Amino acid sequence: MVLNGKQYKPDSLQPLLEDVVENHSELEIQKVNADGIFNSQACRETVGSRLGKEVELFASVNPRRKKEIEQPRRGIAQITQHGSVKCIAGHDLVFLSKDQNLEAYIFGCPVYNEEAGGKLEHIRLEVPDKCAGEKKPECCPNAAMGRTDRLARDMLSQIEWDNPQFNYHFKLVSALRTKIERLFGRMKGGFKMKHLYKRGVDNLRGHILKFMNLRHLLASVSGTDGV
């Protein structure tokens, strides 16, 4: 299977899914965890057509051509191209829920809002100290829980509305992918493949065979057992 980095993304996803269907039919697949380049409606439809409509595609934020939005309203310093909402004190506001009627995301202050702080603790992130909220008089002097803000869905169009990348469920699934990547990293290091940029099964097999033959030759020269 040869995948070209310049391919239209659903076209490069299709052979991977077909390989799973043909060679691993015993698997009960519920989620597909993918890189941000696959974060598109076309790729979601490709996953649904090959694996079933109930299978979800979990893909990290792809900012595409989104630009940072500076000071969209009082108390908010910036909305980054990846959809993070930063307050004027330098903290990322915490995603709390969605307002289905207004089609907006609801964010809370990580310093004063207990629900927001609890969500950070739940995913093992540091909760800022209250002394770090020195901008509160300038931001929201009369709000005991700090700023709670609704941001329109259209303002954060790089975020997947049905499965927001900043909610806990998504982060939990996404973390599995980093574990797999670390495992692949150790395997690539062991087979001296960290700097291998060739694509395709035949090229990879050829590289591994050359490496294994070299290990046997070195073992033979040194008078030890091969691998």
Tokens 């990293």 found at: 185
Query: What is the predicted pLDDT for the residue at 189?
Result: 72
At residue 153, the 3 state secondary structure works out as helix
Low-confidence spans in the chain with pLDDT less than 70 = 1-10, 132-133, 179-181, 184, 187-188, 191-201, 224-227
Tell how strand 76-79 and strand 94-99 pair up. Answer: unpaired
Distance CA 124, CA 141 (A): 29
φ, ψ of residue 19 to 5 degrees: the values are -65, -40
Q: Can you give the residue ranges of every domain in the chain? A: 9-61+172-219, 69-157
Check residue 9 and give its pLDDT: 56
Instruction: Extract the tokens encoding 13.
Output: 């996803």
Return the pLDDT at 4. 45
Using one digit for the tens of pLDDT, what is the confidence trace for 107-146?
A: 999 999 999 999 998 888 889 887 766 789 999 999 999 9
Q: What is the pLDDT of residue 88?
A: 93
pLDDT on residue 214:
77
Phi, psi angle pair for 123, to nearest 5°: -100, 20
Q: How far from the centroid of its chain's Cα atoms is residue 79's Cα? A: 18
Instruction: Compute the C-alpha angle 184/23/204, nearest 5°.
Output: 40
In a 3-state reduction of DSSP, which class is residue 175?
helix
